[in-house]
Amino acid sequence: MQRRSFLKGIGTAGAGIAAASAVGPAGAQSAAQSGLEVRWRLASSYPRSLDTIHGAAETIGRIVSDATGGKFQIQVFAGGDLVPPFGVVDAVQNGTVECTHTAGYYFFGKDPTFAFCCAVPFGLNARQQNAWMIQGGGLDLMRDFLRDYNIVNFPAGNTGAQMGGFFRKEINTVDDLKGLKLRVGGFAGTVLARLGAVPQQIAGGDIYSSLEKGTIDAAEWVGPYDDEKLGLAKVAKYYYYPGWWEGGPEMDLFVNMDAYAALPKEYQTILAAACAVANAEMLAKYDVNNPTALRRLVAAGVQLRPFSRDIMNAAWKAANEVYAETAAANPRFKKVYEPWKAFRDQQVLWFRVAEQNFDSFMASAGR
């Protein structure tokens, strides 16, 4: 499970699948050719209605089946069908299912280090997250951490920068956050609680009903395409951005280590290649679908609002305080946080030179 071997076949999607089909010595039969059949169950954390984020799991299942002539099958179950959406790590750890497709920060309560598999406030954007995992040492660090949970992880999706969510009322100052019940996951809840909000972790399929009933005052999910599908604009009209807690959240395939070790090398490589395809495909789908969904939401009366500088500055300060305190108390968190922070700061410096200037010009020219 070394990073270099994992990455060897991951270039373009086609190259990855081609590498996965290699059979080794001349004349040797592949595992699929020899008739080896493997049947896995995947418990997703997401409802089937969210076709892009849930669809990544279906993509993985389809590719491993196609690449093995149907010999390696992964049956995908939507969130709650087999195990609760937030119970998937326990299910993979104890072997109830072989794998899950989920967001690592959901399991912040087990250990905040889980969040680095996905996103933390004021963290990496999607490109930077991929760079950290694939070339920056992040995958080695996270696999070392997840070994204690009997899990090996594969990056398998990214939404890109998310929205801040739908709010029932305008939020202009930090004081406006006080007492606000907000559906939000991971580290963001800890940071927002420090600012006076009351974070709630609610599965995707239950967000609409919670907002409609007034159980919560605001909810963030992903972005325009998924938020429109959930119908959040029907019960809250103020739509805030950016989701500073999710600059480039990664989804992962978490696999039971024993089940993974039992796979022939060929199937391990195919699985890795399938996850690489899902990783790229999810981001591309969101980038295609979000712009038109945002236009529809605004046309329907949604009020688009940026978080104020006052809120952003307060959240930045609170986030850094939380990181320092968590690192001081949790050696496993510190082991990942310190190299992650150095990588993030280096990336920000580079992106300021070319990417930010290009994006800023294009945004102004496009007006």
Comparing CA positions, the residue from 64, 336, 62, 280 lying closest to residue 159 is: 280
pLDDT tens, residue order, the chain (367 aa): 444 444 344 333 333 333 333 334 444 577 877 878 999 999 999 999 999 999 999 999 999 999 999 999 999 999 999 999 999 999 999 999 999 999 999 999 999 999 999 999 999 999 999 999 999 999 999 999 999 999 999 999 999 999 999 999 999 999 999 999 999 977 999 999 999 999 998 988 899 999 999 999 999 999 999 999 999 999 999 999 999 999 999 999 999 999 999 999 999 999 999 999 999 999 999 999 999 999 999 999 999 999 999 999 999 999 999 999 999 999 999 999 999 999 999 999 999 999 999 999 999 997 7
Strands 151-158 and 165-167: unpaired
What is the per-residue pLDDT for 33?
A: 77
CA distance 157 to 126: 10
Check if 3-21+35-158+248-287 and 165-246+289-339 are the same fold.
Answer: yes
The model's pTM: 0.90
pLDDT at 255: 99
**CATH class held by domain 165-246+289-339:** alpha beta
- pLDDT tens by residue, 237-264: 999 999 999 999 999 999 999 999 999 9
**CB distance 228 to 97 below 8 Å:** no
CA 203: distance to chain centroid? 14
Laid out side by side, the sheet with 72-77 consists of 72-77, 38-44, 99-102, 250-256, 151-158
Residue 17, pLDDT score: 36
Domain 3-21+35-158+248-287 has CATH 3.40.190.170: yes
Q: What are phi and psi of 303, to 5 degrees?
A: -95, 110
Half-sphere exposure of residue 107: CA atoms within 13 angstroms, side-chain side: 28
pLDDT at 112: 97
Domain residue ranges of the chain, discontinuous segments joined by +: 3-21+35-158+248-287, 165-246+289-339
**Smallest Cα–Cα separation from 89: which of 75, 105, 107?**
107
